[in-house]
Structure 1
Amino acid sequence: MEEPILQTIKTYYPSLSQGQKKVASYLIEHKEEGAIITASQLGRNVGVSETTVIRLANVLGFRGYSHMQEAIRSNWLQSSQSSTMSGQVKEEDRFYQVAEQEKKVFAHMMDQLNPEEIREAAEVMMKADRVFIGGFGGSYAAGYWFYYALRQLRDRVSLFSAEGLLPEEMVDIDELSAVVIFSFPRYRKEGKELSDAARKAGASIIAFADKPLSPVGREADVTITTEERMETDYHSIAGAVSVSEMVIQTAADKYSEQVKARQQKIELMYAERGMFLE
């Protein structure tokens, strides 16, 4: 259930001025600060006048800034109390079970990360003539995110369909290609078929998997794991995206000039087409 102050801001947000929108967004993202700082301090942090801050409070239905701040403070305290009580929640509460599992996934991921593998994967995919990305079934979401992010960095990037492999999509794989495969339980056979085809064509293979000896992991030149040694069958798509984001950031940092030139062209096209609302 959303906090009342957030519901109020959402209701009035479309009618706010640009300055008021900045203040509203800042309050949502920095609730702790909003609960204690003055209107003038808030205005300085956001880059607007104190008057704009006070007018926002009025537009949202409060008699003044102090009344809006009291509502923020009340919501923040309620949220803090809820977080404190989370350790006392019954074991069968599924929300907290998922949260605990995610914490375990990230803890394991940080323990097992090999920076050299991250750097090698970034190098391989940036030097390749073409990059082909595959993720099938439940692994497709992570594959699509990686495809979208990598296209911000370089050209000639392809994504296979979530449902399977087509000869027309595979025919261009060769020894100059890099094939990136996301493969997590339950392992789809298409992942193994793609790695076999890539190996036959002489392409470099990068695998994102739950363990090095998974069907695709053991065939890859570089295998990056997110859940190795986990004691349950739980699979986190967040862990897969996070570790792939590390590869993307490593590539962006190392090839910064090349990436910057491409992103400038992309941003220009975004602006010309008016693609984004804000």
Structure 2
Amino acid sequence: MPTDQQARAQAAAITPGGDPPEHERAPADRVRALFDGHSLSPGQRRIAQYLIDHLTEAAFLSITELAERVGVSQPSVTRFATALGFSGYPALREVLQPMALSAVAGTPETREELRRNELQAAVDAEIDNLENLRRVLADTDQVLDIGRELARSKPLTVLGLRISVSLAEYFAYAARRIHPDVRVVTRGGSVAYDALLQSRSAGGTWVLAFAMPRHAHETLAALRAARRTGLKVALITDLTLGPLVDEADAVLTAGTGSRLVFDSYAAPGMLAAALLQAMVDADPERTQARLESYEQVADQHNFFL
């Protein structure tokens, strides 16, 4: 973990991409920069947001006062400070106070402006994630290869637990239109293991797993269970290293938006859509037949407006 001196140096560093030195940036931007690149829980992001929205006041609050204002415990504030690389809240407050004083000395931003800028910054961060994904997809071989393997797996199991459920269900919903047997697993433990065993017994060869932060122990257990059954694992995650990646046979990465209290998933969603396209390209005749059949059923039963 960085020392307080290292954390302060990081806060004062010149930002990448030719941006001006930290002391020349708006105070709110300097506070946001403290939180960038750190994996914060939703509760910790609430603390971060409060500090951004109330900088000139919050930087001078005691740990007890800050905890009461945010509605969290004092240990939560301490864990938040240590997650940023500080020894505790006093060391973080020491960095925040000069920023607060410069905000008072300059033209103060209204709370509405701070909030608007924070939302815009969240969108900008997602644009960066998509730009990174665009560069990754410049070489399509890996996505096409994985899509081909998933298209061949009958049944195909799609796994997503906790916050990753929504991505797994999106992928499974679309994949069922082009694949004859898609099974989605959204519960961990023995329920997941049972589903994986059944999939392998039915002839399945691959499971596609989504693992977004915060990464759960039960996701790791499910991946290990899949490997024990004989299934291969394709993983979509934000990680490039770690135990989840170690359990996967193929890994596709996409960054998540972490500027707000809860993550956003523009890049992982785009990556999932690209993998669906790869499955389409792997068996275009089956895809066309299944899509036409589905449209006939949808018209017959008046599914859509």
Q: Which residue matches 2:184?
A: 159
Q: Which residue of 1 aligns with 2:297?
A: 269
Structure 1 residues without counterparts, runs of 5 or longer = 1-88
CA distance in 2, matches of 1:215, 1:145: 25
Q: Would you say the 8 A contact 1:91–1:97 is kept in 2?
A: no
* Count of residues in correspondence between the two structures: 188
The 1:232–1:210 alpha-carbon spacing in structure 2 relative to 1, beyond 3 Å, is farther
Is the 1:182–1:207 Cα contact (8 Å) retained in structure 2?
Answer: yes
**Dislocated runs of 4+, deviation >6 Å:** 230-234
- 1:1-278 alignment, distance < 5 Å: 90=113, 92-93=115-116, 94-113=118-137, 114-162=139-187, 166=191, 167-174=193-200, 176-227=204-255, 235-277=263-305
Q: Deviations over 1:91-127 (max 9, x none)?
A: 5423212211111111221223342220111011011
Give the Cα separation in 1 of the matches to 2:186 and 2:239.
24
Shift, 1:253, TM fit: 2.2
2:162 and 2:186 in contact (8 A); partners too: no
Question: Structure 1 stretch 252-261 or stretch 165-174: which is displaced more?
Answer: 165-174
The unaligned stretches of length 5 or more in structure 2 are 1-111
Alpha-carbon distance, 1:90 to partner: 4.6
> Do the aligned residues in 1 keep the contact of 2:258 with 2:264 (CA within 8 Å)?
no
Q: CA deviation at 1:169?
A: 2.1
Is the Cα contact below 8 Å between 1:120 and 1:222 reproduced in 2? Answer: no
Local SS of the residue matching 2:243:
coil
Q: For 1:130 and 1:204, locate their aligned partners in 2 and report how far apart those are by CA, in whole Å.
A: 13
- The CA deviation string for residues 162-213 of structure 1, in whole angstroms up to 9 with x for no partner, is 5665044233132742111100110022221111111111111110010232
Percent identity of equivalent pairs:
19
Give the root-mean-square deviation of aligned CA atoms.
2.5
Question: What is the DSSP-based 3-state SS (H/G/I as helix, E as strand, rest coil) of the residue aligned with 1:206?
Answer: strand
The amino acid that maps onto 2:284 is: S
Deviation, 1:231, is 10
Distance in 2, Cα, partners of 1:190 & 1:216: 11
> For the residues of structure 1 that align with 2:281 and 2:195, how far apart are their CA atoms?
30
**Corresponding residue number in structure 2 for 1:11:** none
Q: For 2:188 and 2:209, how far apart are their aligned partners in 1?
A: 14
TM-score, normalised relative to structure 1: 0.61
Q: Distance in 1 between matches of 2:198 and 2:166?
A: 23
Distance across 1 between alignment mates of 2:159 and 2:194: 14
When normalised by structure 2's length, the TM-score is 0.56
